[in-house]
Amino acid sequence: MAEEKRIAAVTGAGQGLGRGVALRLADAGYRIALLDRQSCDETAKLLADKGVDSWQHVTDVSDESSVVTVFSAMENEFGVPSALVNAAGIFADHPVHETSVDTWDRIMAVNARGPFLMCREGSRRMKENGGGSIVNILSNAAVQGFANESAYCASKGAALLLTRTLAVELAGHNITVNGVGPGTSETAMGGDYLGEGPIAAHELSRTPLGRWGQPADIAEAVAFFCNQATWVTGQALYVDGGFLATGLPTLKGM
């Protein structure tokens, strides 16, 4: 079946949301290219357990030569992806007066330059192959202010506008570009942020669905954009248990 031969390239696939996306897209019939700065052996094993073929390459998405190299290697050794999901990302939590230029540059390099480079090189191939779908993993921090997260929020806002702009620019090549904005989800990144403190309690009280996100929740929205969303581009879907919708939450005991 031609459907089963499609390739999805997923960055940040070594763990967390990227791994969840890789597993979900495998269920949708894709072979998966696993890209991360760390080994993706564990994800590859989970895919092999499902009988799904994968390929991996150590890649630093913030580095132009690394991104250019991985696309040539992928093309030669595995094939051209018709879906690209940019999930690699890093987080920093510092008051603005303690945010160094190094921190700012590093966050922007991974979270904004990374998707730019991946979209540029990925869409070059998709264009030659008749089209494809790109999904950038954003955050509700792309559209809300979170204290002490100036660099992170700015990087996700940049990725949101990159998403919209490329949707317009690449539509003529049959390439859709959409974003999925997770709310706080149970991964290494989410866990580091939340802990058990008052921020977690505050955030959960403003999450009507009353729990943290799981990789499978986020991956479902990604699969929609890759597979079913034939006439949707330039959109961002926030998968956040209702956090973004909340003005006044229902308070316990009221």
Query: What residues line the site for ligand NAD (CB under 6 A)?
Result: 11-12, 14-18, 36-38, 59-62, 87-90, 110, 114, 137, 139, 182, 184-185, 187-190
What's the CA gap between 167 and 236, in Å, rounded?
11
What's the CA gap between 98 and 120, in Å, rounded?
33
Among candidate residues 30, 152, 193, 238, the one labeled active-site is 152
Measured in degrees and rounded to the nearest 5, phi and psi for residue 202 equal -60, -50
CB 59 within 8 A of CB 70: yes
Is residue 238 among the annotated active site residues? no
CB 137 within 8 A of CB 85: yes
Of 64, 157, 156, 58, nearest to 119 by C-alpha is 64
Of 165, 177, 14, 168, nearest to 85 by C-alpha is 177
Which residues are designated catalytic? Answer: 152
